[in-house]
Structure 1
């Protein structure tokens, strides 16, 4: 059987036994715990005269004079002043004109303080407003985002030292790139000037192209032959492409896709070559397409030769090369004529 005994809680010492300075600190702490920054904003609001009110009309003093007495900057005083001003516009606290020095009023809860108070002057700038809006959209306190924005050296140190921070920075940059053409250009320029990044981009582009080659076969059911023909993919080839693509799609973001992409591409490409060789009609058409493509390229190159200044550029080797080319063309023409149906 368990017996519960209620013990008396230790009682606080009578106020008469507490040092006056300790009691004052405790009361100040309690006021701040309940009201947060409102307790200090009230001191500013009831002591600093509003704009447009002359010094002789009120015992209140200017924000600069108040800051001298407080031993802080006038800018800091004005941040509390502006917070009270915004809250008074919303009817949360009395107007400045309704307050007298030393007057106490009921203050809002501490939870709403940060809604009105900008702990940094940058928060009121256009840049600060944008950062604040982005922070609120991400569900974090704007003061945290503003602090990071005002200390890029600290941000750089965190990115260099911590993979998690670097990953967050990378994701943020990618999101920003979508709507920032200037940043796109700058980043592309940085990549072009950095050999390691150029190699990495080339490698990833090659892997993406190879994955795209396999994906196109799976999704469209067609293959592109080495000569550039587009034909329907055999069922077994398409099934093998689907198998490799499923392996690629299962890779997570941290896994390298280069080797997997190369294996898939090489396997499928070999199967395409085998499919071409296994089909006599396709094989002939492939040779015809490849030959005609080469002929078009050769014709274009020869047409681009400029012979107007041949007198000035004569070389024996040039003549010999052209004579060899002429002989090769004659041989080719003879072979084609023999293969023609009419012959």
Structure 2
């Protein structure tokens, strides 16, 4: 049969985060408590104040420094200390190295100043993790690099080492969490600036992935278009369709600055492609209008375009004749001759037109 309990009789259960004090409690005397509990309490208090330094001291005063002959010291090797402690020599050496680093910083005495069983003042517990790493990977070249990078970022090396030792966990976090993915992206970009091999690998991976390849091409096109607008806005120069580089009119440059300011104000999450396309097309139209409104510039544009086309045609024809001049019997087609004859006729017509347009053509005709 169950017994109902009145609310007033129900015992209050303290929250785990609250310190519970027995009602009417008074300071306890060590004489009233078993010696084993007193010893454990003292050890606990010492560890609460100093953390891992308590155990590092036990190692530092008991393990002889490397290279010191056994006959010169009452201390033992890290291997022997580990056997007595029931743990590995590697674990002992992690405490040893932490003490050594702290000694170099003047935080604790060097090994030579310590004797077995001797006590010294220990640093606060919160300093311990700055010197100690519980991971064996911290001692490797890779571990040292990770530790240095973690310190530069202002985080505990143990956290970075843990992540480095669990790439599958890192992958899972990147796949599941946008914030982690963004941090990974930023880190990879920073790493690629100083790692050409990684640049090559990333470029190869992107080129082999259709979706990424298309996205990169679109971003590259947007970047080129923004660069075109930025060139006008910042340098005050325009490039005409024929390739001339001339000073941009003030109103055109102002329009480029307006478009550029709109693009620069976009958030990282916003797609700049559409804005870049609009700015680029606007600038192209204004450049074409600038050329068309200036008679002198318009003539120079036509001349530049003609020379450019002539140079390209000359280069192509020279390559054609030089590459295929020999062994024409193997490649002969009637259509080739017909096309060359048409080309010859077009060139003759062009030459005649240019000769008629030459400055001395009219004077020569009148003299005759």
Task: Give deviations 1:271-298, integer Å, cap 9, x for gaps.
Answer: 1112222223322332222222212211
Instruction: Name the structure 1 match of 2:300.
Output: 285
Change (3 A) 1:211 1:9: farther
Residues 93, 107 of structure 1: 8 Å contact kept: no
Which residue in the other structure is 2:350 paired with? 332
The aligned residue for residue 147 of structure 1 is: 162
Mapped pair 1:40 → 2:55: yes
Of 223, 227, 237, 1:208 maps to: 223
Are 2:278 and 1:260 equivalent residues in the alignment?
no
8 Å contact kept, 1:33–1:110: yes
- In 1, the alpha carbon distance for the partners of 2:264 and 2:25 equals 65
How far residue 71 of structure 1 moved from its aligned partner, in angstroms, is: 3.7
CA distance, structure 1, for counterparts of residue 171 and residue 149 of structure 2: 20
- RMSD of equivalent CA atoms: 2.8
Tell me, which stretches of 5 or more residues in structure 2 are unaligned? Answer: 1-22, 363-368
Q: Which moved more, 1:221-230 or 1:262-271?
A: 221-230
* d(CA) in 2 for partners of 1:91, 1:251: 50
Match of 1:166 among 181, 184, 189: 181
Call closer, same or farther: CA 1:87–1:313 in 2, change over 3 Å.
closer
Indicate the residue corresponding to 2:264 in structure 1. 249
Give the match's secondary structure for 2:238. Answer: strand
State whether structure 2 residue 144 is matched by structure 1 residue 129.
Answer: yes
Match of 2:46 in 1: 31
Q: TM-score, normalised by structure 2?
A: 0.80
Structure 2 residue aligned with 1:5: none
User: What's 2:18 paired with?
Assistant: none
Q: Which stretches in structure 1 are left out of the alignment for 5+ residues? A: 1-7
8 Å CA contact 2:61, 2:116 repeated in 1: yes
The within-5 A match list for 1:76-115 is: 76-87=91-102, 90=106, 92-93=108-109, 95=111, 98-101=114-117, 103-115=118-130
| Structure 1 position 224, deviation (Å) | 1.4
CA 9–255 in structure 1, closer or farther in 2 if over 3 Å, else same: farther
Structure 1: how far apart are the matches of 2:296 and 2:114? 97
SS of 2:310's equivalent? Answer: helix
Residues 208, 98 of structure 1: alpha-carbon distance in 2 compared, 3 angstrom cutoff: closer
Instruction: State the TM-score, normalizing by the size of structure 1.
Output: 0.85
**How far apart, CA to CA, are the structure 1 residues paired with 2:107 and 2:153?**
29
Q: Secondary structure at the match of 2:330?
A: coil
**Equivalent-residue separation in structure 2 for 1:143 and 1:333 (angstroms):** 79
Distance apart, 1:246 and its partner CA: 1.0
- The alpha-carbon deviation at position 239 of structure 1 amounts to 1.9
Pick closer, same or farther for the CA change 1:104–1:283 going to 2, 3 Å.
closer
User: In the TM superposition, what is the alpha-carbon distance from 1:258 to its structure 2 partner?
Assistant: 0.8
Give secondary structure in 2 for the equivalent of 1:187: helix
CA contact (8 A) 2:64 2:73 kept: no
